[in-house]
Chain A
Amino acid sequence: AQSVTQLDSHVSVSEGTPVLLRCNYSSSYSPSLFWYVQHPNKGLQLLLKYTSAATLVKGINGFEAEFKKSETSFHLTKPSAHMSDAAEYFCVVSEPWGYQKVTFGTGTKLQVIP
């Protein structure tokens, strides 16, 4: 069975400082991993995805994530936070299971302090 754990339910950073949102996963297969962002009262937007190509994945809005198989982690980072980054972020693991079974983490709310 697959699972995903987002280690922090809330993260608070100052504008201009680095962002680190942590995600650990477990999977019996070689999973695909995703980060989605949800702004208040908005839908889910795909930030980036890992599908067994390069382990360092670059996404939109300056975000990137590194797949570390030995640590079963897929942490999301950004060098410098912007006010517009304040949102909830979801780590997602996906593996083939009849349909492409998708498991969402419980989310990390990012607060950016001016």
Chain B
Amino acid sequence: DADVTQTPRNRITKTGKRIMLECSQTKGHDRMYWYRQDPGLGLQLIYYSFDVKDINKGEISDGYSVSRQAQAKFSLSLESAIPNQTALYFCATSDSGGAQETQYFGPGTRLLVL
């Protein structure tokens, strides 16, 4: 979805390195999310943010941190990358919630930690 962009699309890094994955959206949504996808496991929530001042841990936040620089930008950092953080990472946005809430996903960032 061109309304949600992620950079970089692919990244190879080494164990112990700090890296940042960036997400931008033009949908005007308040809510943003970071997920990781591992084969056979579906998507797991890392962090979510309801607005610039509201950031929350998801199911698997250990080893990750986030920054919500603006309504449109939500970055995910791996402070010291490890091989089991090799995965496909998705950013998503949604509007203000309720039964009609739908999440819209970016194209993903494929990360390989050596």
Contact = CB atoms under 8 A, between A and B. Distances in A.
B and A form one assembly: yes
A9 B40 contact: yes
21 contacts: A9-B40, A34-B102, A42-B107, A42-B108, A43-B105, A43-B106, A43-B107, A44-B90, A46-B102, A51-B99, A52-B99, A94-B101, A99-B48, A99-B50, A99-B97, A100-B98, A102-B45, A102-B103, A106-B40, A106-B41, A107-B40
Q: Give the interface residue-count category, chain B.
A: 20 to 34
Interface string B40-60: 111101001010000010000
Interface in A26-64: 30, 32, 34, 36, 42-46, 49, 51-52
Nearest to A46: B102
Contacts of A32: 99-101
Contacts of A51: 99-100
Interface residues of A, number: 24
Contacts of B42: 90, 103-107
Contacts of B48: 99
Given A51-B100, A90-B43, A107-B40, 17 more contacts: A32-B99, A43-B1, A43-B105, A44-B90, A44-B105, A45-B1, A46-B102, A52-B99, A99-B48, A99-B50, A100-B97, A100-B98, A100-B101, A104-B43, A106-B40, A106-B42, A107-B42
B7 interface: no
Nearest to A98: B56
A83 B91 CA distance: 28
B31 interface: yes
B104 interface: yes
The 9 A-B residue pairs with the shortest CB-CB distance in the complex, in nearest-first order? A104-B42, A43-B107, A44-B105, A104-B43, A100-B101, A106-B42, A43-B105, A51-B99, A43-B108
B107 A99 contact: no
Interface in B59-100: 90, 92, 94, 97-100
